[in-house]
Structure 1
């Protein structure tokens, strides 16, 4: 019982440090902002697909199928490219797909617009997978579980805004795709505020994380 109480106190202290230390607080805020944009696209794009005038059942089936290859592609991207650049490019491509989906739907190019809707959803899912791995490397073990919870909260908050934004399609068809795309790309730019972590070791404490980050900065500046 005493050991359990001691561990609980240590965990509470570690979580408090997540908000006290500027670098940790800045990272968790940036991660939540990025996930907010990804959440808007991930949950919102399938919700707004009705504006493209395609079969709703077919669209739901294809959106579900599009998720399957993401679990194969994500490890390849993580292996070949850096974390920060991969997340950034992913958000920009996915956001651009959403914007072009809106533009082409205005010109009646339904099939191409639907393909771009699938692409936007696909990259939103890839982005979530990438950020889940990135998060593990950004925070030490003592706060990693809590930080991952905050990542998930950012995603859910983005999804909570989707019904309201999707309702815009009632007045301006497909405009919601542009909103989702701009959110994904615009908020994805916050990735530039995060450090690169590929190839770095995982840390157990906040102090070890600070030392590792400082060493990475020194190596990059040399």
Structure 2
């Protein structure tokens, strides 16, 4: 745990066992660090025990992020329902009642034959019986004992409210990323992160017990705000604590628990079969992350970038101790004073649109994120519809996502960020085309289409961590939260468009896949004008980012 105490008597001692380290050679020989080099990494190293600890802690936060973004699948799953049987029809079984009360042309029993007339003569010609609305419903509990659909009767004229829940979640994540991201850029990463973690856990537990739908929806929005804050700040922290080759690996590995979170959520949903119990379990687990208050210090890179020199010295000295390196506070202070720039004002997202170079990068990244989000959320629904078991489908999606992220690690370290994104986009586009040209029903269980769907989803799963890393490196430290949050907002907007794209299947069976193929091909051309960031120093200010 980080100690914020004063310097002790060992401040002016150095660790003689580390004399062979290049940094400590420089410190003992009072050699200058060349201008432009990363002072933070020169003091604490590219990667050590402390960076490993922070990287693991930030990656674990992807688990609850996955839960809240996708648990609507188990909160409002497809569920059979029927109009409740009136007391006057007690002599009929449920199946008999359903057969005589529902028009055969109706997929769902929102309108039924007038029960009063049916009671007079069940064999009466149905064309002579008017239809009346059904107000009381019963639900199939063979798979799920309780859902938000059954709790609040989100069927028929209220069916759209289930989709509203997901839209509220995505808009909340968008706004939360902006609000918490801006707070983190102005006042540090630590307090906004812990605050969002606390709100996320409390709001999730409250969601499991709130009995009123509209109050639940308000609480759901607050939960989404916090989830957006956790996501953006944890990613930026993950980038800022490492340097060198680890700046490539760690932000990619950070994304992997998201897929694992899907699989865990599917397992919990299978075990509990009750949305309230599931939400309580997720909220209880999320609340444990409040312990991060004792384990996560302020970002030293942010402290240096904003001129908080004395606080940075304390944090950096404690980090060197945890990494097994000891150096005097006075020398750290001297190094910082000589090689850090003066404090700059944190830019807003709109600031990135005012200069030509950053405007081009911001617009292209935003378009890429929109296309990625549209493909990911639309194709997630398509992949889930292939299997008949919803728990297996969601778990499989999570596993495939994790595998796609693992392959990204090997590719991105060799060919760079831009090329990696392009490779995965080509794979995804090719799979969409292969799905289109493969006839339906020609093979057992449509095996080739299922195979192409799996590879295509893995391609999208590999695109996301690479694009996250690429976006984070194109924006400066002062404004990185706001920048990454701003461009990833378009992926959330795309997630709200995804159900509309899926619905186009009713007009033309392959129309959604045709559109996704076009979008994926367009992405390839939108990534090409952006600069490669591999082995380049992170820009600290907007001015540095504009020159890159």
TM-score normalised by the chain length of structure 1: 0.82
Query: In the alignment, what sits opposite 2:479?
Result: 143
Structure ranking higher in helix proportion: 1
Query: In the alignment, what sits opposite 1:186?
Result: 522
Unaligned runs of 5+ in 2: 1-185, 188-305, 307-343
Aligned counterparts of 1:170 and 1:132: Cα–Cα separation in 2 = 34
Once superposed, what is the RMSD of the aligned Cα atoms? 2.3
Asked which structure has the greater RCO (Cα within 8 Å, sep 6+), the reply is 1
Question: Deviations for 1:157-212, whole angstroms, at most 9, x for unmatched residues?
Answer: 2222111111122232233122212212212320011011111000111222344x
The correspondence of residues 52-63 of structure 1 with structure 2, limited to 5 A, is 54-57=387-390, 58-63=392-397
- How far did 1:141 drift? 0.8
Unaligned runs of 5+ in 1: 214-222
Is 1:97 aligned to 2:97, yes or no?
A: no
Aligned counterparts of 1:180 and 1:15: Cα–Cα separation in 2 = 29
Query: In the alignment, what sits opposite 2:375?
Result: 41
Query: In the alignment, what sits opposite 1:74?
Result: 408
Please, which moves more after superposition, 108-117 or 171-180?
A: 171-180
Query: In the alignment, what sits opposite 2:345?
Result: 10
TM-score normalised by the chain length of structure 2: 0.35
- How far did 1:99 drift? 2.1
Aligned counterparts of 1:129 and 1:158: Cα–Cα separation in 2 = 17
Query: In the alignment, what sits opposite 2:356?
Result: 22
Cα gap change, 1:14 to 1:170, in 2 (>3 Å): closer
SS in 1 for 2:393: helix
Aligned counterparts of 1:64 and 1:14: Cα–Cα separation in 2 = 35
Residue of 456, 468, 491 corresponding to 1:155: 491
Cα gap change, 1:56 to 1:34, in 2 (>3 Å): farther
Cα gap change, 1:172 to 1:14, in 2 (>3 Å): closer
Cα gap change, 1:25 to 1:165, in 2 (>3 Å): same
Aligned counterparts of 1:150 and 1:181: Cα–Cα separation in 2 = 25
CA contact under 8 A between 1:51 and 1:169: conserved in structure 2?
Answer: no
